[in-house]
Amino acid sequence: MAASPIALNFSETNSAEIFDERLVNSKDKSLSRVLSAVVSHLHQIIRETGPSPADWRKVIEFLTEVGHASDERRQEWVLLSDLLGASALVEAINSRRPKSATPNTVRGPFFRADAPNRKAGADISLDGIGEPLDVSGHVLDLDGLPVARAIVMTWQANSQGYYENQQPDLQPEFNLRGVFETDADGRFHYRTVRPCGYGVPDDGPVGRLLRQAGYPMLRPSHLHFMIKAPGFETITTHVYDRNDPHLAEDAIFGVKPELLADFRPKPGDEPAWQLDFTFVMVRAKQEGRT
């Protein structure tokens, strides 16, 4: 079949349109819509930045390295998406919530779905290293009514800024992780240690690239939560230490005013802390969608 005249006429200005012409027989319109948008933006970036062929080879080498650095234990692509703000933007457009509801943030790479259930009040610090912290949570709906029997999963870094699955030889299995359930008043509580802020993994291609660009690779001190209850949108979020000096430069754009909390000193000889936080859940829009 003869090529259409326009297909022979690829130029700097019409490149994306010519690509689109080749999708006219697409059997999947939503795929071709996304492909068309990606190619149109990609061509625009190339026109704007004008890479030489050598520059472009470097881009391809970088993407190749990101692929090689990814496996079951480490997801360099997720890190790239998180640090470029793409993950935060996807969360934002998929969880538009009223101002008084708890916003979502990215789940991050250190979540484990197999963490054990713990009894109310349990201590999730299995090695006891760090300054003790008592956490009390309250889970409410938008009308201020308690959400009873919600499942609350929590995970956090230790007092040196490392997750248990980053240090399998140094920390006990499931250290600083646990699954709790809210009581009839929507409350839960547990004991832990105060988490430390940390640097995101920067020893791979994503870290090397962004460090060279002067990008801050820090995460302010936080606790992670995932809260599920039937009929409600799942909350996946962080609770941040309001006094952390690095809030404004969080590497993954997770800090929001609604997620700041006070780690208050507990009276006593040794440093110990307490934290109270209220989570507000939104009813799910459709059956089965969380």
| Residue in this structure with the two tokens 């409350």, named with its chain if needed | 187
Least spacing, CB of residue 219 vs ligand BEZ, in Å: 5
For residue 191, give both structure tokens: 């004991």
In the list 76, 193, 219, 239, the residue contacting ligand BEZ (rule: CB under 6 A) is 219
Beta-bridge mates of residue 158: none
In the list 66, 69, 91, 108, the residue contacting ligand BEZ (rule: CB under 6 A) is 108
| Residue in this structure with the two tokens 């538009």, named with its chain if needed | 96
Beta-bridge mates of residue 275: 135
In the list 14, 39, 70, 110, the residue contacting ligand BEZ (rule: CB under 6 A) is 110
| Binding letters toward ligand BEZ, positions 117-156, x by CB under 6 A | ----------------------------------------
For residue 234, give both structure tokens: 């799942």
Q: Which stretch binds ligand BEZ (CB under 6 A): 3-11, 103-111, 188-196, 225-233?
A: 103-111
Name every residue whose Cβ is closer than 8 Å to that of residue 135 and which is 6 or more positions away in sequence.
154, 189, 190, 191, 192, 223, 274, 275, 277
Q: Residue 71 or residue 269: which is nearer to ligand BEZ going by CB?
A: 71
Least spacing, CB of residue 106 vs ligand BEZ, in Å: 6
Beta-bridge mates of residue 117: 179
| Binding letters toward ligand BEZ, positions 78-97, x by CB under 6 A | -x--x---------------
In whole angstroms, what is the distance from residue 193 CA to residue 80 CA? Answer: 30
Binding footprint of ligand BEZ, residue count (CB under 6 A): 9
Query: DSSP assignment of 1-50, as one string?
Result: -PPPGGGG---TTTHHHHHHHTTTT-S-HHHHHHHHHHHHHHHHHHHHH-
In whole angstroms, what is the distance from residue 108 CA to residue 219 CA? Answer: 11
Using only the alpha carbons of the chain, give its radius of gyration.
Answer: 23
Q: Residue 146 or residue 204: which is nearer to ligand BEZ going by CB?
A: 204
Strand order in the sheet with 177-181: 177-181, 151-156, 222-228, 235-241, 260-261
8 Å CB contact between 227 and 234? yes
In the list 80, 101, 106, 229, the residue contacting ligand BEZ (rule: CB under 6 A) is 106
8 Å CB contact between 221 and 240? yes
Q: Regarding beta strands 273-281 and 132-141, do their DSSP bridges make them parallel or antiparallel, or are they unpaired?
A: parallel
| Three-state DSSP state, 274 | strand
| Binding letters toward ligand BEZ, positions 151-190, x by CB under 6 A | ----------------------------------------
**Residue 109 sits in the site that holds ligand BEZ (CB under 6 A):** yes
In whole angstroms, what is the distance from residue 132 CA to residue 124 CA? Answer: 11
* Residues 39 to 68 in contact with ligand BEZ, rule: CB under 6 A: none
In the list 150, 200, 206, 239, the residue contacting ligand BEZ (rule: CB under 6 A) is 200
Least spacing, CB of residue 12 vs ligand BEZ, in Å: 37
Q: Residue 106 or residue 152: which is nearer to ligand BEZ going by CB?
A: 106
**Residue 252 sits in the site that holds ligand BEZ (CB under 6 A):** yes
Least spacing, CB of residue 175 vs ligand BEZ, in Å: 15
Interaction site with ligand BEZ (CB under 6 A): 79, 82, 106, 108-110, 200, 219, 252
